[in-house]
């Protein structure tokens, strides 16, 4: 089980980092989702892996599953779920208003606005 969990975290993280480094927002969002899955499993494992152990304190039990990481994972899942929803909407808005879904911002020096060659007074007339 240790090998399974460890390799799952490793593979998810590696895939997540690869996707995060892509150019288009959709792949990057997939990447952040994969990374958040990896971290959720990692948090779960931080309370040590146990099999068939009760999650709450009980009399006569010496080995139990640590309930705190499970609570932490729940919190982390909720937060990453909400954040992913936000970033999807923002990426969508950025795609619709900018016309492409690239992550980087295009060269800002391409269109430096030029001032009108008139004085304020003339422009007002």
Partner 1 sequence: MNHWIVAPVVLPAMLAAILVLVSRFHISLQRTLSVAGTVVLLGIVAGLFWQASDGTINVYQLGHWQAPFGIVLVADRLSTLMALITAVLAPLVLLYSIGTGWDTRGRHFHPLYQFQLMGIMGAFLTGDVFNLFVFFEVLLIASYGLMVHAGGANRLRAGTQYVLYNLLGSTLFLFALGTIYAQTGTLNMADLAGRVASLDAGDSAGIRVAAVLLLLVFAVKAAVLPLHFWLPASYAEAPAPVAALFAIMTKVGAYGIIRIYTLVFPPDLALTQGLFDTWLMPAALLTLALGMIGVLGSRRIDKLVAFAVIGSMGMLLSAVAVFTPAGIVAALYYAIHSTFATAALFLLVDVLRDRRGVVGAWLNDTVPVAGGPLVAGMFFMAAIAMTGLPPLSGFVGKLLILDAARASALVWWVWGTVLIGSLVAVVGFSRAGSQIFWRSHQIALAQADNAEYEEAEANIADPSPPQPALPMVAIGGLLALLVALTIFAGPVTRNLSATAAQLFEPEPYITAVMSMPGKVIKDDYHVDDHTDDAALETDEGGH
Site for partner 1 in 43-102 (CB under 8 A): 43, 45-48, 56-59, 62-66, 68-69, 72, 75-76, 79-80, 82-84, 86-87, 90-91, 93-94, 97-99
Among 5, 6, 15, 20, binds partner 1 (CB under 8 A): 20
In sequence order, the β-bridge partners of residue 24 are 102
Among 3, 105, 110, 125, binds partner 1 (CB under 8 A): 105
CA distance 118 to 125: 11
Q: Quick check: 23 binds partner 1 (CB under 8 A)?
A: no
CA distance 15 to 31: 7
Give which of 40, 28, 35 is closest to 14, Cα–Cα: 35
């Amino acid at each position: 089980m240790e090998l399974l969990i460890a390799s799952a975290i490793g593979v998810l993280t590696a895939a997540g980092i690869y996707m995060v480094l892509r150019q288009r927002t959709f792949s990057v969002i997939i990447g952040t989702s994969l990374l958040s899955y990896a971290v959720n499993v990692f948090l779960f494992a931080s309370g040590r892996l146990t099999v068939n152990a009760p999650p709450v304190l009980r009399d006569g039990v010496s080995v139990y599953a640590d309930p705190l990481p499970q609570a932490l994972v729940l919190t982390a899942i909720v937060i990453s779920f909400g954040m992913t929803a936000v970033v999807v909407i923002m990426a969508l808005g950025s795609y619709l208003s900018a016309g492409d879904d690239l992550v980087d911002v295009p060269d800002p020096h391409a269109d430096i606005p030029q001032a009108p060659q008139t004085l304020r007074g003339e422009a007002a007339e």
